[in-house]
Amino acid sequence: MADYDIVIIGGSPAGRYAAAIAAKQNATVALVEREQGAIQNSKFKIQNSKFSDSRTGGFLNPPLPTPDSLSYIGQLARQWEKMGNFGLRSTHEKAIDDCQVSIQWERVMQWAQNVQSNLAEENSPTVLAALGVDFILGQGKFVAQPNLSFVVNNRGLAARKYLIATNPRPIVPDIEGLAVTGYLTATEVLSSLTSPNPPKRWAILGGDPNGCQLAQALARLGLDVTLIVQRPHILPREDLEIAQLLQAILEAEGVRVLTNTTVTQVKGIEGKKWVQADREAMEFDEIVLCAGQQPELEQLNLAAVGVKTQRDRLRLNQKLQTTNSRIYACGDAIGGYQFAHIANYEAKIALQNALQNTLFSAQFQVDYRNIPWLVCTDPPLARVGFTAAQARRKYDNDVLVLQHYFKTLAIAQIQDEMTGICQLVVRRNGTILGGAIIGSQAGELINVIALAIAQKLKIDSIADLVSVYPSWGEILAQTASEYLSTPLGQKNWLQNLLAKIGCRV
C-alpha cells in the first residue's frame, strides 16, 4: 500500500514547483530536501532600472527582476556609468562618487535579497504545507527490498511513483592545484563582492551562459576579467557567428577572452592565484568555475533499484522515465543548460505521466524544438529550435539562413542600441526550423518564433506580420522578408496567393 501518489526527491526550484503542481491536482505528495533552504536562487537580472538621482541613490521605479541570471549587477553598472559614476574623474570627484556607489550598492543588495526572499516564498515549505505537501528534511536513498521505497531518516516512503529533482553541482575541471588553491562557484560570487576587500582581478573558467553573463557583469563594475575557454568559442551550443558576435561584445566592454586555451595548473603564491594557461602564467585574486553543471545523484543508490546512468547522467525516455518505470526525473537532475522554464516544463511532463491512473491514458513526451532560452548578457542572446549547423546536418542543402541587423531599426537608433542580429533558419519550402537573436528585447522577440514553430507556421506568416512603428518587433518581419526576395520565396508567395483565391497549384 503506497503512502503517497508521488515522492519528489530534491530541493531544487523544479522540485518545489512540481510538488505544488501535484498537490493542486489532489495528489498525495512528499517532498524530500537534504537541508532547509536548499534552494539557492541568487540569479536575477534588473532590466530597465532607473534611479532618482545620484544625491539620494534611490530608485525612481523598482527594477524588474527576472530569474535565472547572474547579470543584474552588470545592468546596474551600466546605469551608474550613464550617470557618470564611472569613468575619468578627479580624485575628489571619484571619492564622492565611490561613496555614492557604495551606498547604492548596499541598497541594491538589500533589495535583491528581499526579491530573492519573495520569490522563494512562492513555493516555500509553509506554502507547500498549506497545499498538503509533506515536507521532509534529510538525506535519503532508494531501496528495492522488500518493496521499492525511498528511505530518509530511517523512514521508508512508499509511493506509486517517484520524481528526482535534485540540485546540480558545478563541474570541477581536473586541473592540478585547483582544489588546494580554492575557487568560487557562480552563485558564490555576490558574497565575495560584498566582502570588506573584494577581489579585483578575476579568472572565469568556462564559456557557458553563466560564465558569459558573469564576465560582462564584473567588467561593468570596473573589475579586471579574463574568460578562459577550452573550446574554439564561447557558448559551444550556438552557431559560430552568433557566439563570435557575443564574444566581440564582451571584448568591447573590457573582458579578455581566451579561446582554445587549456588551464593546466593553478597555484597559490603570496595570497594570489596563479593560473597556467597553455604557455602563459597569469595572476588573479579569484577564480570562478563556469564550466557547466552536472546532476548530483551519487547518494541516491540508483543502481540498486535498476536506474541506469550514462556518462554520469540518467538514461531517460521521452516521457522522462528512467529505466525503472516508477521513477522519473526533471530539471537539473537531467543535466544540460540550467533554465528554470525548461525545468518547469519537464516537471509538468513527468507529473502528467507519473500521475496517470490507467495504462491506456495518453502519454506525454518532451519536445524541446519550440522551447526558447535566453542568455542574459546585454544585449541578450535568445534562441529556439535548430541552429544553422544542426539544420544543415539534418537537412543538408535544404536549408536557408536569413539574417537582418538591428541597426536598420528606427527604435534601435532612437534608443542607441544598434548592436544585434536576427537569424532565422528555414527549409526551402518555408518551414521555420529555428531562430537566434542577439539584441535588445531578444527574450521577448524569440517567443514569436517559438510560437510560429509550435503552430507550424511558414516563414511568409512572419514576413506578413505588421508591427507597431517604431518597435523591436519590426526585426522579425524584416528578417523573414529576406526569404520573399529569393526565387523560392517568390514562388511560394505566388502559390499561396493562388491558393487563397481558390486556384489549384
Name the burial class of residue 131, with classes exposed (0-12), middle (13-18) and buried (19+) by CB atoms within 10 angstroms of its CB.
Answer: middle
Measured CA to CA, the distance from residue 40 to residue 17 in angstroms comes to 14
On the 0-12 / 13-18 / 19+ scale of CB atoms within 10 A, 199 is: buried
Q: Annotation-wise, does 332 bind a ligand?
A: yes
Exposed / middle / buried, residue 414 (Cβ in 10 Å: 0-12, 13-18, 19+): exposed
Residue with cell 551562459: 209
Q: Give the burial class of 503: count Cβ atoms within 10 A of its Cβ; 0-12 exposed, 13-18 middle, 19 or more buried.
A: exposed
Q: Are 16 and 37 a contacting pair, CB within 8 Å?
A: no
d(CA 64, CA 45): 8
* DSSP H or E segment with residue 328: strand 327-329
Any known ligand binding at 378?
A: no
Environment class of residue 350 by beta-carbon count within 10 Å: exposed (0-12), middle (13-18) or buried (19+)?
buried
Whole-angstrom Cα Rg for the chain: 25
Residues 85, 451: Cα–Cα separation, whole Å: 42
How far apart CA 465 and CA 443 sit, in angstroms, is: 18
The verdict on whether residue 292 carries a ligand-binding annotation is: yes
Q: In which residue are the cell numbers 508567395 written?
A: 493
Could you tell me which of 469, 196, 142, 177 has the C-alpha nearest to residue 314? 142
Cell readout for 304 is 540498486
Measured CA to CA, the distance from residue 317 to residue 323 in angstroms comes to 8
Residue 398 contacts residue 428 (beta carbons within 8 Å): yes
One-letter identity of residue 488: L
Query: What three-state secondary structure class fits 126?
Result: helix
How many Cα atoms sit within 13 Å of 382 on the Cβ side? 21
Binding positions are: 140, 292, 332
Binding positions for NAD(+) are: 292
Binding positions for FAD are: 140, 332
